[in-house]
Structure 1
Amino acid sequence: MSRCRTRAASVADAAHDSHGRLAAVAEAYAYVEALRWPDGPRCPHCGNARAYFLRPGAESGARRTRTGTATARRVWKCAGCRRQYSALTATIWHGTRIHVPTWIALVRHTANHGELPPPGQLQRGWGLSAEAARHVRRLLGAASADLLRSGGVGGRAQDRGELLLAALLSIEGGRAARLRHAAVRRARPLRQRGPVADYGDA
């Protein structure tokens, strides 16, 4: 775990000012990969351990998404099912738009202080929008409660942040999808004015 701890320190220290820094994001993905797959990448879709790393552009160190945005997300392609995946695929952070270094720093803060700051402080100190701050608190709160129900976080407490991050990454598949769904706060639609036939009551 020494390699992981070295990466953890560098990622956490740079988390606040790493937004938009592709090198920091790539390093964060490599750190998460080492925690989730200590024996090498394994496809979250089919379980195959053979995969090919899709190298980013040699000059920019990044690849372009379908919308043309530069990203440093480290992507693998399974040799079995041929599907692409990253270290966040099928986890509670699947599809997240929040930078990975930010998530790592937030998890470490949770592990060291027991909880996250209020949403307003997350907005001011971490550069999150109001909705993102609320989402972060809901998701990490739900995932932490799920870990407690399943037996808590095991391992030696040499680095509580790393232990919690590894435990959260172990929540996969349908279990992770349920937590992501529960963390999304959907606004209730406004009650229709006028005829009430759509509601079936008066």
Structure 2
Amino acid sequence: MFDLTIDLYNDPETARQHLEKLRWPKGPICPHCGNGDKFRIMKFAGKSTRPGLYKCKECRKPFSVTVGTVLEGSNIPLHKWVLAAHLMGAYRYRMNANQLHRMLDVSYRSACHMTERIDNVMK
């Protein structure tokens, strides 16, 4: 059993930080050019930028932890993606989209999209 009340499953910022630790244990790496030099990667900060946005000074392209993953381009909050991946990985049988739709409080179409992407990654 796992606790659904922890911040990882309820806060997008905590989920983003968790994904950054998993994907980049030694610091951010540009998915466009592969640059991992901490002095050549700049983190954007401010009210007008989205949280977790970085810019590579080598290729001059912005990126975040979701670039190059199944989460890229999704409008579904990160904490719901993390919970969906955990539920689908822990579930004994294949979790269907209708069940995910009810558990995560997302539309059925979004749940279908999530199950399809997560299934493809798990294969």
- Indicate the TM-score class for this superposition, using the shorter chain for normalisation: 0.7 to 0.9
Return the alpha-carbon distance in structure 1 between the equivalents of residues 95 and 76 of structure 2: 17
Amino acid at match of 1:82: R
Return the alpha-carbon distance in structure 2 between the equivalents of residues 44 and 128 of structure 1: 29
Q: Number of aligned pairs? A: 115
Return the alpha-carbon distance in structure 1 between the equivalents of residues 81 and 121 of structure 2: 13
Is 1:31 matched with 2:45? Answer: no
Determine the structure 1 residue equivalent to 2:84: 106
Distance 1:77 1:115, change over 3 A: farther
Structure 1 contact 32–87 (Cα < 8 Å) conserved: yes
Determine the structure 1 residue equivalent to 2:46: 56
For residue 102 of structure 1, give the secondary structure of its aligned residue in structure 2: helix
Return the alpha-carbon distance in structure 1 between the equivalents of residues 58 and 23 of structure 2: 20
Amino acid at match of 1:51: I
For residue 141 of structure 1, give the secondary structure of its aligned residue in structure 2: helix
- 1:85-143 deviations in whole A, cap 9, x for unaligned? 00000112111111100010111112222455322222222111121111111111111
Return the alpha-carbon distance in structure 2 between the equivalents of residues 119 and 53 of structure 1: 36
State the percentage of identical aligned residues.
Answer: 26
Determine the structure 2 residue equivalent to 1:46: 33
Return the alpha-carbon distance in structure 1 between the equivalents of residues 93 and 19 of structure 2: 21
- Identify the match of residue 126 of structure 1 among 100, 104, 110: 104
Determine the structure 2 residue equivalent to 1:94: 72
- Identify the match of residue 7 of structure 2 among 2, 7, 10: 10
Between structure 1 and structure 2, the one with the greater Rg is 1
- 1:19-75 deviations in whole A, cap 9, x for unaligned? xxxxx2222111111110000000000011231110132xxxxx35xxxxxx5x310
Structure 1 contact 109–116 (Cα < 8 Å) conserved: no
Return the alpha-carbon distance in structure 2 between the equivalents of residues 109 and 115 of structure 1: 11
Distance 1:133 1:115, change over 3 A: farther
Amino acid at match of 1:30: Q
Structure 2 contact 84–100 (Cα < 8 Å) conserved: no
For residue 77 of structure 1, give the secondary structure of its aligned residue in structure 2: strand
How many angstroms does 1:83 deviate by?
0.6
Return the alpha-carbon distance in structure 2 between the equivalents of residues 114 and 97 of structure 1: 28
